[in-house]
Amino acid sequence: MRRTHGERVYPQPIYIVTGAAGHLGSVVTKTLNDKGTTVYALCLPNEKHLPQGEHVKVFFGDVRDTDSLTDMFEDCKSRSVTVIHCAGIVSISSKFDQNVYDVNVNGTRNVISLCERYGVEKFVYISSVHAIPELPANEIITEVDHFSPNDVVGLYAKTKAEASQYVLDYIKRGYNGNIIHPSGIVGPGDFGRGHITQLVIDYYKGKLTSGINGGYDFVDVRDVANGILACCQNGKSGECFILSGQYFRVYELLHLLHEITGKRAIRRVLPLWFAKVTAPLSELYYKVLNQPPLFTAYSIFTLNTNANFSHEKAARELEYTTRPMKQTLMDTVEWLKDHNRI
């Protein structure tokens, strides 16, 4: 549909979604397409699972290379454009990885430079709760108005913090934008090997014999996508929004999977000291398999940090809601079955 006012006709707004073949990006793209909204989906040239839909136009490019993105921005020049920057690398690696920095930080700078050049109407950056400094145990963590890599721990957190501050600086220059902080994303639609997706697969296939102590805040990818689109429509420029779900210990997730699938219950929980000692071997083992490790020294650290994130602001200003984790895991299992992953 097109917006009209008198005799004038305004073309339908366009949404650019970077990282559109990733877990969150693909769900955002699908949600927009289902609403009849035109989506320009940016994917890497070697992506195997491209987003599809009547209203989806796929562009190939790499956020590390500004020139590879110009055709997409040129194609929607003089239109009302909202950019949802989902492209990023989620890493629980304990070692520095230049590629993570180049994508998460330099890639964000490149996309913002194009937003400035082409005068996009709104820029929504998908950061992470990891960019927010941790508070002492049990204290409620809410949105902040400044980010620094020095205030957080781990490569992924530091890159997200640095990029988030760059976005705030962009907004302070007079542009319209918001920052979204999802917690641990889980749910259907992950064609890659997200860490919780891999946990579900390994549990279903009987590869897990033990759980690990600790937990985190997990949220359904579809709820995050809905929150992002609500932010695009109603988020006041300069505001940050935490899109979290609910805290679950790892063994609680495994118990829910047991109830859903009827597979063998995991009753043994590894003590923290043992998990820390064996984490380097786990990273090496999964590196040989060319798969992301389920647990690393950094992820074990994360699973034992304060994850008491509040999404009260998003609920109040964006009407953000979340669904039960059991439903999320049921839908994830069914999606994995439908796509022959389990």
DSSP string, 121-189: SEEEEE--GGGSPP-STTPPB---S---GGGS-SHHHHHHHHHHHHHHHHHHTT--EEEEEE-EEESS-
User: Judging by beta carbons within 10 Å of its beta carbon (0-12, 13-18, 19+), is residue 282 exposed, middle or buried?
Assistant: middle
Quote the number of domains for the chain: 1
State both tokens at 200. 């579900």
Banded model confidence at residue 285, pLDDT cuts 50, 70, 90: low
Give a yes or no: residue 257 inside a domain: no
Q: Is residue 145 included in any domain, yes or no?
A: yes
Cβ(48)–Cβ(63) below 8 Å? no
Residues spanned by the domain of 77: 12-188+219-245+307-323
Asked whether the beta carbons of 85 and 123 are under 8 A apart, the reply is yes
pLDDT tens readout for residues 83-135: 999 999 987 666 778 999 999 999 999 999 999 999 999 999 999 999 999 99
Q: Is residue 286 part of a domain?
A: no
In a domain, 342, yes or no: no
For residue 194, tell me if it sits in a domain: no
Residue 274 has pLDDT above 90, yes or no: no
pLDDT at 139 over 70: yes
Which percentage of the chain shows pLDDT scores above 70? 88
Q: Is residue 254 part of a domain?
A: no
Mean pLDDT computed over every residue of the chain = 91
Could you read off the pLDDT of 21-75 as tens digits, one per residue? 999 999 999 999 999 999 999 999 999 999 999 999 999 999 999 999 999 999 9
Cβ-contact 21, 51 below 8 angstroms:
yes
Under 8 Å between Cβ of 177 and 237: yes
Model confidence, pTM: 0.92
Identify the residue whose tokens are 């927010």: 132
Q: Does some domain include residue 3?
A: no
DSSP states along 270-338 = E-HHHHHHHHHHHHHHHHHHTS--S--HHHHHHTTS---B--HHHHHHH------HHHHHHHHHHHHHH
Question: Can you give the CATH number for the domain in which 227 is found?
Answer: 3.40.50.720
Q: Is 95 part of a structural domain of the chain?
A: yes
pLDDT at 199 over 60: yes
- The rounded distance, in Å, linking the Cα atoms of 143 and 318 is 14
